[in-house]
Structure 1
Amino acid sequence: MSLKLDTLEAALHSVLGDAVARLERVRGELTLTVKAADYLQVATTLRDHAQLRFELLIDLCGMDYSAYRDGAESQFIDGPRYAAVLHLLSVEKNWRLRVRVFAPDDELPIVASVNPVWNAANWFEREAFDLYGIVFEGHEDLRRILTDYGFIGHPFRKDFPVSGHVEMRYDAEQKRVIYQPVSIEPREITPRIIREDNYGGLK
Structure 2
Amino acid sequence: QWKVRRTLAFSIHELAVILGDQLTAADLVPIFNGFLKDLDEVRIGVLKHLYDFLKFLQLLHADKRREYLYQLQEFMVTDNSRNWRFRYELAQLILIIELYSHYDVYDYLRQIALTLCSDKVSEVRWISYKLVVEILQKLYACGADELGLNFINELSVRFCHCPKWVGRQAFAFICQAIVEEDCMPMEQFSQHLLPSLLSLSADPVANVRVLVAKALRQS
TM over 0.5: no
* Normalised TM-score (structure 1): 0.35
Please state which structure has a larger fraction of its residues in strand: 1
* Normalised TM-score (structure 2): 0.33
Please state which structure has a larger fraction of its residues in helix: 2
